[in-house]
Structure 1
Amino acid sequence: MVAGWFHAFGVEAQPHLVTAREDARANAEGWIARGGLRVWEDGGEVVSMAGSSGPTPHGIRVGAVYTPPDKRRRGYASALVAALSQEQLDAGKRFCFLYTDLANPTSNKIYMDIGYEPVSDVDEYRFVEA
């Protein structure tokens, strides 16, 4: 299930980087092996995922936030990201950070509602062989 969610996340959030399902499975297994992946359950059903990775001396990145389309608009990702962020702060991190697509007002509002603040913009460039 989680591997499928990693693939779906890639399709939605980074369509230019979509990898094969096997690669998504390996990616999911890596997050799980590092202990960085969390899931949110509702009534015993797993309904959302998010993870932490890329630690710095004082902070950690939150990412791989995904809720299947049929489970959205119920606050699952908001609750999970808030809980995961608090877990990291309680463990001694001074801050958590994440990347979000400026073109996605829904995720931007959710993150700001739980306490994240914009710090900087990032441009991504890809070079391809001619």
Structure 2
Amino acid sequence: MFSKLVPNDPAIAAGSPFTIDEVQYNLIHRISEDRNSLCLKTPDEKVIFAQTPGHKGWLWISNDILATEQTSLIHELINHLTRVSLPGITGDPQTAQMFAGIFSKINNLRYETEMTMEAYHCPTLIKPQGVKGEILKATDEHVDVVADYLAGFMRDAFGTQVEPSSQQTRAATMIAAGGLYLWIVNGHPVAQANISHRSPRHARINAVFTPTQHRKHGYASALVAELCKIIESENRIPMLYADVKNPDSNKVYQNIGFQKCGLIEEIKFF
């Protein structure tokens, strides 16, 4: 029953059932663009699975499919994944938990939730006022700063301690992609944010980070707001994911106009 989902597939195009939950599942657009990814859909286009090799899969099931039918479809999907290495599953909490329960039982595995995120979009920007500084697109001269910020982001978001030097290559790649911006005060960077991907109707912001000594001044809010303006000028809607365990970042986004679009749960198998 499952067939291949391709880039710009009708199953994820405007007017498809998927677009109801498009913000929540926006990363499926990015995964589908990778020629090495495994992307599947049902004939009625109400179930989509997408996985980049070596990463957790994403599973979307339309809300109008009954629970009993969802169970049957998950079993069928798992049959398609017999020879696929699947380290985890990502989706709305109910879907992710249902898949994880069935998959782990069949494969004699255990599972646990690693992270729960809120998906946000910003249909109407509320620009912060009175924040000192200005936006600057990152260049090669900022690699060391960006690498330091990426290490800080990993520490704060995932509790992972890494040396900034280990993030040099990633920093250079993000800068070269052209979506990384800094907030500058008195000639010095104080925050960063990145436009990481553009899908047909949205653009996703990530890697938002302010060093501890520069927090509580509105720098991240001002920078994200400027990125929202760039995205809006392209006739797209800004979106992002925020860890529900970080109330401060969630509040920052809500204060500048971001609205909740649903939870996404990441589950790992072991």
1:30 aligns with 2:30: no
Structure-2 separation of matches of 1:31 and 1:7: 14
Aligned pairs for 1:38-49 (under 5 A) are 38-49=181-192
Aligned equivalent of 1:112: 254
**Residue type of the alignment partner of 1:62:** I
Structure-2 separation of matches of 1:91 and 1:19: 36
Aligned length: 126
Equivalent residue in structure 1 for 2:198, among 44, 51, 55: 55
CA-CA distance at 1:19 after TM superposition = 5.5
- Where does the alignment leave 5 or more consecutive residues of structure 1 unmatched? none
**Residue type of the alignment partner of 1:110:** V
Who wins on radius of gyration, i.e. which is larger?
Answer: 2
Between structures 1 and 2, the one with greater helix share: 1
Aligned pairs for 1:1-130 (under 5 A) are 1-15=145-159, 21-93=164-236, 95-128=237-270
Tell me the SS of whatever aligns to 1:92. coil
CA-CA distance at 1:125 after TM superposition = 1.0
**Residue type of the alignment partner of 2:178:** G
**Residue type of the alignment partner of 2:264:** V
Q: Which moved more, 1:18-27 or 1:111-120?
A: 18-27
TM-score, with length taken from structure 2 = 0.45
**Residue type of the alignment partner of 1:114:** I
Asked if 2 retains the 8 angstrom alpha-carbon contact of 1:6 and 1:25, the reply is: no
Tell me the SS of whatever aligns to 1:48. strand
The root-mean-square deviation of aligned C-alpha atoms, in Å, is: 1.5
Identity %: 35
TM-score, with length taken from structure 1 = 0.90
Structure-2 separation of matches of 1:35 and 1:14: 25
- Where does the alignment leave 5 or more consecutive residues of structure 2 unmatched? 1-144
CA-CA distance at 1:54 after TM superposition = 2.1
Between structures 1 and 2, the one with greater strand share: 2
**Residue type of the alignment partner of 2:235:** G
**Residue type of the alignment partner of 1:78:** S
**Residue type of the alignment partner of 2:238:** C
CA-CA distance at 1:8 after TM superposition = 0.9
CA-CA distance at 1:23 after TM superposition = 4.2
